[in-house]
Amino acid sequence: MRDRVGGPIVYPTPMRLELCVPITPPPENDPVPMSRPPVGYTPLAEWELGSPEQLGGLRTHLNEHLAAQGFASDAVKADTPSKIVLIASELATNALRHGLPPTIVRLHRQGASFLLEVTDHDQAAAPLYAGERRIGEGGLGLHLARELSLDVGWYAGPASKTVWATFDAAGTPTQTPLGMHGPVGSAQRLEDGTIVLVGELDAGLTEQLLEMAQAVRPEDAPVAIDLGAVTFIDSTVVRFLSLVYRFSHAPVVLLGASERTRFLIDAMGVSDIVELRD
What residues contact residue 175 under an 8 Å CB cut-off, 6+ apart?
75, 78, 79, 259
Burial class (CB within 10 angstroms; exposed 0-12, middle 13-18, buried 19+) of 178: buried
Alpha helices of 122-214 — where are they, by DSSP H?
A: 141-148, 206-214
Please give the Cα distance from 48 to 65 (Å, whole number). Answer: 15
pLDDT grade, residue 71 (50/70/90)? confident
Q: Matching CATH topology for 3-168 and 186-277?
A: no
pLDDT-derived band of residue 92, with 50, 70 and 90 as boundaries?
very high
Find the angle CA(208)-CA(212)-CA(216) to the nearest 5 degrees.
Answer: 165
Can you give the pLDDT at residue 191?
93
How do the domains of the chain map onto residue ranges? 3-168, 186-277
Q: From the options 2.60.120.920, 1.10.1040.10, 3.30.750.24, 3.40.630.10, give the CATH code of 186-277.
A: 3.30.750.24
Q: Are 85 and 118 in contact (CB under 8 A)?
A: no
Instruction: Tell me the per-residue pLDDT of 178-210, one tens digit each, with 9 for 90 and over.
Output: 555 566 789 999 999 999 999 999 988 999 999
Q: Note the pTM of the prediction, 2 decimals.
A: 0.79
73, 177 in Cβ contact below 8 A? yes
- Residue-wise pLDDT tens digits, 26-67: 555 677 889 999 999 999 999 999 999 999 999 999 988 888
Instruction: Note whether 243 and 212 are within 8 A (CB).
Output: no
The domain 3-168 is placed in CATH, from the list 3.40.50.300, 3.30.428.10, 3.40.30.10, 3.30.565.10, at 3.30.565.10
Rounded to the nearest 10°, the torsion over CA 69, 18, 59, 10 is: -30
